[in-house]
Structure 1
Amino acid sequence: MQRRSILAGAAATAVAAPAIAQSQPAIRWRMPSSFPKSLDTVFGGAVAISNIVKNLTDGRFTITPFAAGEIMPPLAVLDGVQSRSVECGHTAGFYYVGKEPALAFDTGVPFGMTPRQHAAWMNQGGGLALMREIYDRFDAVQIPCGNTGAQMGGWFRKEIKRPEDFQGLRMRVPGLLGRVYAKLGATPQQLPASDVYPALEKGILDAAEFVGPYDDEKLGLARVARYYYGPGVMELGASLCFIVNKKAWAELPEGYRAVLEAACAQASAEMLAKYDVGNVAALKRIVGGGAKLSYWPRPVMDALHKATREVFEEEAATNAVFRAVYTQWRSFLDDQLTWASVNDGAAEQYMLGTQRKR
């Protein structure tokens, strides 16, 4: 009897869903992305959000995704959402550190959090509230919608053996990473994905940090820079965000808001899984094609870590918003690192050690 009741309830829900959707208004939004279609996993997150929203609302709420540059420049998505030229956008917070440096924490910062730690900070550790306070200044509401996982250290046209080797390098790096590399003598530049390959090919750039093997292979970076560095201490994860104009969000029916948040959560899980699978095969092809995979020497990582702390402390000293976010974020990360050292992080280190002995 109980089983029959459960099945009957499920059937009633399935029948009622379209009727509920039909009772809601028809809404059409446009969503520019900061990423090109060629990066099918990261831009695919925008497509996934659109498809899930459409399916869950029986087509009453549709969001049309546009690749970078189709209706607005890739690094102007927040501007478009703020002015309500578009209702929503698919981007990354660290592209807008020129507006507010604390937005770097929305995406990820050097020597920061893994995707799992970042999700915990956002969803349970107060991070989302902090980020939404900042986005509110730009008339936007933020929803996390994906993560690339740990990103590689980047592609270089010459070997990096010591910290001094960064001197004079022209590097494509986003967010606060540029300020870190600048402390070691590099000249940072922020370029959209479509401009990275030609800049390296023409010698306008000496190095470029983008994502990881799956996306880097699609951009062809191994053809214009030989040396590929890891581990990804500069970006242990990069979280993307779906941003909505504040007035458009307020006008949206409550049910549609719930649908949007569910769609972003599902897109997040799918994106990270796709990168974890795709990066392995891509890395094998890249190395098999002749790229030289190298690890940052310890003195280089130490210098990068020292420069990172200096950038954080300098910004915190003059920027009250950054200081508030950084202080809370740092405390949360310290606790997470303690837990990782006790349990899963320690277990992973053991498993890596046993793998090397095979």
Structure 2
Amino acid sequence: MERRSFLKNAGVGLAAGAVAMPAIAQNAPTIKWRMASSFPKSLDTLFGGAEYMARRVAEATGGKFHIQVFAPGEIVPASAVFDAVKDGTVEMGHTCSYYYFGKDPTYAFETAVPFGMTNRQMDAWFRYGNGSRLLGELFAKSNIMLIPLGNTGTQMGGWYRKEIKTVADLKGLKIRISGFAGAVLSKLGAVPQQIAGSDIYPALEKGTIDAAEFVGPYDDQKLGFNKVAKFYYYPGWWEGGPQVAAYLNSKKWAELPKEYQAILQLACADAHVDIMAKYDAKNPTALKQLVGSGTQLKQFPKEVMDASYKAAMELYAETSAKNPEFKKVYDDYKKFQDDQNLWFRIAEGAYANFMYSKR
């Protein structure tokens, strides 16, 4: 049976009881919220995932709780979602917390950090580790409540106009990347550029930048990066499992009826899984099409990976030394990740490596 139909009709996850309970439809208030997204409408994975969440909320409340999703620029720019939710300009946002690295690098842990956790490991840290508590306390200082709402899985390392054979090839490389990853690459001589997703294509085409990272095959193909840069590198070591989040204005959240709070949390959890599943379903075909059209798939040389890892560890130590909040979160994050990797390398890793060898 088709998954969404099963969820809707059988009542798994978002509970058909929530839809079938006439008390909600009859007695609950009508509430309309606005959600500002950092993602363009062309990305039916991320922007579409927020719309899917909003539909689930509407279905479960008989249309009483309506959330409208707005693309960047319709209310606020992509980079302004944090402040829009904090200040109450909108009730909700859908964004990546590492976009706000400049405010405090600790925010990056909510999305992804270089050589960080994978999607499943992040879910484990948030649900059964201290991730939700630690980051919840951090964001609460800005009047924001977090709910995970999507993950892309390990991303690609981006598009390059020339090959990257040694660490020396990174020197002077103008690459569209920001946040923690940009700081790491700066240590290796690269020149990070902060460019909105919609501006990447013309920047690559004109040679204003030499390289750009975005997401992965499905999204990258939509934006046509293969037409202006032929080398496609992997893995995106700065995004092992980047999580996307729903930001909620804390005051507005507190005003919601308890039933609506539960429904919203369940709808986000459903969409969180749906977004990752969609990427896993769509990326293989997109990658084959890209390679078939002439894209040259390249793995980062071990020399580059080792140098990047060393630079990242140095940056973590430097940042921890001057930012107590960062150190508190990083110490917990790293310990959890180390335990996760110890486990994943056994059954999961051995099985995956064997199966990959048979392809």
Equivalent residue, structure 2, for 1:234: 238
Tell me, yes or no, if the aligned pair for 1:142 and 1:243 is still in contact at 8 Å: yes
Tell me, yes or no, if the aligned pair for 2:175 and 2:193 is still in contact at 8 Å: yes
Equivalent residue, structure 2, for 1:47: 51
Percent of paired sites with the same residue: 52
Q: Does 1:102 align with 2:97?
A: no
Q: Does 1:59 align with 2:81?
A: no
Matched ranges for 1:172-251 at <5 A: 172-251=176-255
- Specify every segment of 5 or more residues in structure 1 that has no aligned partner in the other structure, as ranges: 1-11
Tell me, yes or no, if the aligned pair for 1:222 and 1:286 is still in contact at 8 Å: yes
Paired with 1:24 and 1:211, the residues of 2 have a C-alpha distance of 40
Tell me, yes or no, if the aligned pair for 2:88 and 2:249 is still in contact at 8 Å: yes
Equivalent residue, structure 1, for 2:9: none
1:239-282 superposed Cα distances (whole Å, 9 cap, x missing partner): 00000111101111111111111011000111101101111000
Paired with 1:231 and 1:191, the residues of 2 have a C-alpha distance of 21
Q: Does 1:295 align with 2:299?
A: yes
- In the TM superposition, residue 237 of structure 1 has moved relative to its aligned partner by 1.3
- SS, match of residue 278 in structure 2: helix
Residue type at the aligned position of 2:216: G
- TM-score, normalised with respect to structure 2: 0.93
Q: Does 1:279 align with 2:289?
A: no
Paired with 1:175 and 1:17, the residues of 2 have a C-alpha distance of 46
- In the TM superposition, residue 175 of structure 1 has moved relative to its aligned partner by 2.4
1:312-347 superposed Cα distances (whole Å, 9 cap, x missing partner): 111111000000000000000000000012211121
- SS, match of residue 358 in structure 2: helix
Tell me, yes or no, if the aligned pair for 1:18 and 1:57 is still in contact at 8 Å: no
Paired with 1:291 and 1:16, the residues of 2 have a C-alpha distance of 50
Q: Residue 158 of structure 1 is aligned with which of 162, 171, 179?
A: 162
Paired with 1:346 and 1:106, the residues of 2 have a C-alpha distance of 29
1:190-230 superposed Cα distances (whole Å, 9 cap, x missing partner): 22211111111122211101000000001110111111001
- In the TM superposition, residue 21 of structure 1 has moved relative to its aligned partner by 2.9
Paired with 1:92 and 1:185, the residues of 2 have a C-alpha distance of 26
Q: Does 1:122 align with 2:126?
A: yes
- SS, match of residue 176 in structure 1: helix
Paired with 2:278 and 2:234, the residues of 1 have a C-alpha distance of 20
- SS, match of residue 65 in structure 1: strand
- In the TM superposition, residue 15 of structure 1 has moved relative to its aligned partner by 8.3
- TM-score, normalised with respect to structure 1: 0.94
- Specify every segment of 5 or more residues in structure 2 that has no aligned partner in the other structure, as ranges: 1-15
1:161-182 superposed Cα distances (whole Å, 9 cap, x missing partner): 0011111111111321110111
- In the TM superposition, residue 72 of structure 1 has moved relative to its aligned partner by 0.6
Matched ranges for 1:29-40 at <5 A: 29-40=33-44
1:60-94 superposed Cα distances (whole Å, 9 cap, x missing partner): 10000011121110010011001101111010110
Paired with 2:301 and 2:27, the residues of 1 have a C-alpha distance of 61
Using the TM superposition, name which of 85-94 and 190-199 deviates more.
190-199
Using the TM superposition, name which of 78-87 and 346-355 deviates more.
346-355
